[in-house]
Amino acid sequence: MQRRNALSVLRAKCARPLAAVAAVLALAALPTTAPAAAAQSPEAPSAAAAGFTVFTNERGAHPPGHPQYGATKATVVYDVFAYKCDAAGCTSNGSTTLPTQAVYEAKVREYMGANQFNGEATAPVVLDFEDIELTQVPTGQAATNAYNLWRQLLTWTRNAAPQAPICHYGYDWQTRNQDLIKQLHLDNLLNCFAPRAYFDDGQTLAAWTSRFEASVARDRAMAPGHPIYPYVNPVSFPLQTYQPGNTWAHMFQNVKAKADGVVLWETTANNANACPWVSQHSYDMGVITGTSSTGPFQVSATLPSGNCTVQRGTTTTVPVTLTNTSTATTPATQMQSFNSTPGFSGSWKYWSVPSLAPGATWSTELPMAVAATQTTSTALLRIRTDISETRWAVIVQ
């Protein structure tokens, strides 16, 4: 992960990918691409597939709102103390006087609180202290000093977060000082892994997969009972280019097969280049949570923007077409209310959907209003009839 200030300043050492542009929104559940992103508040109820949990680290104005797709809010604690260790000892912000237990625990609670990540009490607390991460510290006395500091900090973190699994963010494909890391897990001071699994600029999917698998293999060998929650992001680093949807699909395919969950680290969706990953993410989360699009209709909607973006404080007329993709004639049905997503409202121009033969289409319009007070930068909308439901994810600007 990269350290961020309020404006998310990234460090090239630990971040990741996602790129692309979308022109028309296909609302049906696609094989590898998903509908557009959702507009629920980040406080919406979350759900996760049994055995695999998607966590999110997000904060600030207009976060993406991953809980609306089924993610659980978790906490990352950044190294505001600037810990460093060498053979002579450890320092904080250049001083050999380290923060007290009270100061440290207050900072952990602050990051867990509503003004920061607002992580659930039982969700992971991940310490992003990269300069003392043991694969990054030289072997010998420097590593011993860092290890002793970790033991103290992890004990204090447990006091501040008594119900949470505690991980440290790391470069788990590397094996330097592995015996020390293993001891922290054996003593249950660390009880989960949070390996960096971002995409780098120009990195192939094969290269990403190889490094991810090396991280998983190291972690499973070190502490088989401790869950692995890789850190991912829809942009590649350091250029922060949004990845195409198939890259995001590849990531989910791998983490679902080999890890116990995944952490979405401070993702953004602030322009049309993010449309492909937002759509894919909505699709994948529908699969994970068992809430995919259903029914015989493929639904398409074309926004005036020409992509998946909508504007707060505006009303946009959206043409919507339903196509019967089943092999049987559908019964006549009704469009249902479009007011289920916070900040979005609208009333269909035509509500009554006639019986449709296989391959037949029917069209209506939706004057869709987006409130100026709508909060998240993406929104999961749903187009429903009595016999179908289609996920539709949009980016809100």
Give residue-wise pLDDT tens across range 339-375.
889 999 999 999 999 999 999 999 999 999 999 999 9
What are the tens digits of pLDDT across the range 290-334? 999 999 999 999 899 999 999 999 999 999 999 999 999 999 999
Q: 95-121 burial by CB neighbour count: b if 16+ within 10 A, else e?
A: eeebbeeeebbebbeebbeeebbbbbe
Q: Is the pLDDT of residue 230 over 70?
A: yes
String of DSSP letters for 177-215: THHHHHHHHHTTSS-SBEEB-PPBTT--HHHHHHHHHHH
pTM higher than 0.85, yes or no? yes
Residue 75 pLDDT: 98
Mean pLDDT of the chain: 89
> Cα separation of 2 and 10, whole Å?
5
What are the tens digits of pLDDT across the range 69-110? 999 999 999 999 999 999 999 999 999 999 999 999 999 999
Residue 1's pLDDT band, with cuts at 50, 70 and 90, is low
Q: In this prediction, what percent of the chain has a pLDDT beyond 70?
A: 87
> Cα separation of 171 and 151, whole Å?
19
Window from 9-23, 78-92, 377-391 with minimum mean pLDDT = 9-23
Residue 283 pLDDT: 96
Beta strands at 25-26 and 261-265: parallel, antiparallel or unpaired: unpaired
**What is the average per-residue pLDDT within 287-291?**
95
Residue 276 pLDDT: 96
Closest CA to 371 of 394, 393, 396, 392: 396
**What is the average per-residue pLDDT within 188-203?**
97
Residue 18 pLDDT: 30
> Cα separation of 282 and 249, whole Å?
11
Residue 51's pLDDT band, with cuts at 50, 70 and 90, is confident
Residue 129 pLDDT: 98
* Angle at the Cα of 311 from the Cα atoms of 307 and 315, rounded to 5 degrees: 105
What are the tens digits of pLDDT across the range 132-179? 999 999 999 999 999 999 999 999 999 999 999 999 999 999 999 999
- Indicate the residue type of 373: T
Q: Is the pLDDT of residue 28 over 70?
A: no
Q: Is the pLDDT of residue 39 over 70?
A: no
Cβ atoms of 42 and 65 within 8 Å: the answer is yes
